[in-house]
Amino acid sequence: MNTQTTDPLAGFDLGPVLNWLTTNRDRVAEKLNWLARADGMMGIEITGQKHLQLSPEEIVETIDMFPHESHLRSELKRINGMPPTWFARGTTVENILVTDDTSEALTPTAIIPGYTAVDKWTDVHKVLTINLYTIPGVDPLIAKYMLVHALIHEYTHTLLMPMLYNGNEPYILEAPGKVQYQNAALLQLFGLEAAKHPPISHYAAAYRPFPDDLADVQFIRRASEEFCESVAAYMMGYIYCDDPERCWNPLVDRPLVKLFIENFLHGKRMT
Ligand SMILES: [Zn+2]
């Protein structure tokens, strides 16, 4: 079943996702049982703690779900808690507007859970911060589940960005089996494959369709969002989408998408 919504901005409304998490909290808790483990801090600074609905240990455990080969490629330096923020009225897919005033929000639940900010991006210094925003108006446990999703999504951006935005230099990723991808190639192949399927998630639906031209900046941007959502689905074992069955086995219909994700996560940077 794939009942594509008619409102192209519906994906920016977090309300249905939070409702679904609330309805399915026990099943989600089982999927995220690794949240309870604790480990070191991996050299990532945590600021804005008072706004964070994840503990430092839960942040570390979530990032620890990524394989070591991924950690070596991330440019993440800081995770920062921020007060509630919404997609503002006037937002389009090409031009995202944000507000901290709920009366200016696209909808009362058009809540932004996370955002990756570029603090510095030169050939030698790349500094990224993941902002995680307080999710207002829900049980703290539901906010926690939503932020785990957001953190996996944003951490994936911190891995994609060095690969996609490497100036004029080649960025070569060698996947298991010695398959090599240069610069945006892996994301472009992923996008072509993902486009054969319904959007992976409620949020990803806001970024469909992809342009036909693989080199179009909108193709890269839209496919990146689908990619980050697909990695979250892969790691969590669930994701909210418009097919109630596929929510619990999100990659079941797309084995090649899963292969691109595994190649990406376990890839080693060669240049
Ligand atoms: Zn994103």
Summarised one tens digit per residue, pLDDT across range 107-140 is 999 999 999 999 999 988 999 999 999 999 999 9
Q: 19-33, 37-51, 194-208 — which is least confidently predicted?
A: 37-51
What is the average pLDDT across 148-163?
A: 98
Average pLDDT value over all residues in the chain: 93
Q: What integer pLDDT is reported at residue 36 of this predicted model?
A: 56
Question: What residues form DSSP beta bridges with 121?
Answer: 126
Residue 4 has what pLDDT? 56
What pLDDT, on a 0 to 100 scale, did the predictor assign at position 44? 85
Task: Identify any residues that bridge with 118 across adjacent strands, giving them in sequence order.
Answer: 128
Give mean pLDDT, residues 147-175: 96
Instruction: Report pTM.
Output: 0.89
**Ligand 1 center from residue 119 Cα (angstroms):** 17
Asked if the model's pLDDT at residue 224 lies above 80, the reply is yes
> Is the pLDDT reported for residue 93 higher than 70?
yes
Helix %, strand %, coil % for the chain, to 5?
40, 15, 45
Span 169-193, mean pLDDT?
Answer: 97
Q: Is 228 exposed, middle or buried (0-12, 13-18, 19+ CB in 10 A)?
A: buried
Mean pLDDT of 167-179: 95
Ligand 1 mean position to 221 CA, how many Å? 9
pLDDT at 142 over 90: yes
Residues 6+ positions from 53 with CB-CB distance below 8 Å: 132, 134, 135, 140, 143, 144, 147
Per-chain residues with Cβ under 5 A from ion ligand 1? 225, 228
3-state secondary structure of 111: strand
pLDDT tens for each residue of 4-28: 557 889 999 999 999 999 999 989 9
Distances in whole angstroms, Cα of residue 166 to Cα of each of 121, 123, 169, 186, 267: 9, 7, 6, 15, 17
Cα of 7 to ligand 1 centre, how many Å?
A: 19
**Ligand 1 centre from 86 Cα, in Å?**
15
Q: Is the Cβ–Cβ distance between 237 and 27 less than 8 Å? A: no
> Mean pLDDT across the stretch 92-100?
94
235 Cα–ligand 1 center, Å:
16
Supply the pLDDT for residue 223.
Answer: 98
DSSP category for residue 138:
S
Report the distance separating Cα 86 and Cα 111, nearest Å. Answer: 4
Distances (CA, A) of 22 to 25, 139, 140, 223: 5, 8, 11, 29
